[in-house]
Structure formats: structure tokens, C-alpha cells
Structure 1
């Protein structure tokens, strides 16, 4: 059974993700916004406006305090779930960032870009720690595996 219809975006939703505690869900839309919803009643708790008009993907940090956003730009942004303010911008890709994800401990971020590179970043200070090259085309997914 459908619990709630989360209405509010004005264009297509590209991704959705639950918070680590399962109490919230975020949606990322090509309308340039990220919305955080309470699962229990479907209420929109926060709307974040992205740098670009297209948000490709967004996800919660492992502790649920931040939202990682890859949008239609070369930059990646971390937003505070409390305030909705941007607290860190990762700069270095030469084309759109298609995807970004946290490491399980929340200390690293992996990103994939249409520039053909994947990058590993510090989630603490935004420093690019490693650039992974060798792909002949744009990348569309990134993840960090431990073990």
C-alpha cells in the first residue's frame, strides 16, 4: 500500500534516498531542488536549492547530518540537514558530476563525472585526494567499497 504521495517538485524526480535512521527520505529533482520529507506523515521538512537547475542525485551522509548533492555542474555540494545551507563545495571536475557517494564511515566521497574521471575527496575539508583516470567516456556511477 502507498503510505504517502510526496508532492511538491515541479519537474521529474531523478533520485530518492532514505536517511540512515529511516525516518526521512530525500528526493532530488530536475527542478533544481532537493526535498527532505518525514516518512511518518509525508510532510516536507526542508527544501534545498541546488547550484544547477538539474539535480542528478543526492544522498544522506552515514550519520544523517548532511546531504551530498551532484547536480548539472562540475561541483559537488554538501548541505546541512539542520539549516539547508551549503557547508562544503568540492571543485575539480571539468564536466557535469553524474553521481557521488559517501564511504561507510562518512570521511570520504567518491564522485563520477562526464569528464571521464572518478575522484576521491575528503568529506572533512573538500580536498581531492585522488583522481582516477583511464575511462574513455563519461562516468555515471560512483561508490566506495570497504574490505
Structure 2
């Protein structure tokens, strides 16, 4: 599993934009930026929609005021689902990156197998990344939501 001090692996994500589906790479996303990245097991799922994402939406201005360039939400979903979820939550301050094949989450060792519920998904976590290097990593215990929320990340910043 990735740890504090590690550089993020080079992978591509999918992102639906006005120009269509783009495939930004890790280096394009994180180079020379301070980024808060949080991951959810799935878009439109209960805890993710009721608490995890809304916390980041509410605190986005305060998080960015601490020197954060970008707040990113990722999940093992496709770009269309991630875009629709962001729109449904009025999450203009958040960048949504899809990891449809779980390449990123496999590379950092933060997947879980939910079997028939949805297959391979991301674990729930939040990290602070400075110029591609992980400076904070908060991984949730299974079925928990205590350390990856926006309030905890804001306190660390």
C-alpha cells in the first residue's frame, strides 16, 4: 500500500468535460500542485452521497484557502457516472476523476473486492499530495467514515 513520502504512480484517469472524455495522467494532474484527493467506494452510494462528498463541497473554500490548488474525488466508476454524480450534488468546486478499471487504486494498493455488490472498488480514503508526493494518507477501516472526511483533512492542512 502507498504510504506517506511515496510518489504517486503514473496512470491515466478518465474525466468527462465539455470537450468530451479526457484521460489526464497522474503527472499532469499533480505536478507542481497541492491536491486533496479523496476516494469513495462508488458514486451515488449512501455514505458517499450523504456525507463524504457533501463535506468537501461545504468546506471547499476553506480547504482551498489553506493553499490547496485542487480537490479531487475519485472512484472505480466511469467518467459519465462520476460527472452525473457531481452535477447531481452541485459539486462545481470538486474535480471528478474516474478510475474505471481500478488501475490507480490497484497501483496504490487501496482496492477492495465487494463481490456481487460491485466488484473491485476503491477503499474509502483521503490524501494530501504535494507535487505528486503523498504527505498525508487517511485510510478508513472497513465500513467506517471517520478519518477521510473533509473536516479531518481541513484540520491537517
Q: Give the TM-score normalised by the residue count of structure 2.
A: 0.28
Structure with the bigger percentage of strand: 1
Q: Relative contact order: is structure 1 or structure 2 higher (C-alpha 8 Å, sep ≥ 6)?
A: 2
Structure 1 length-normalised TM: 0.30
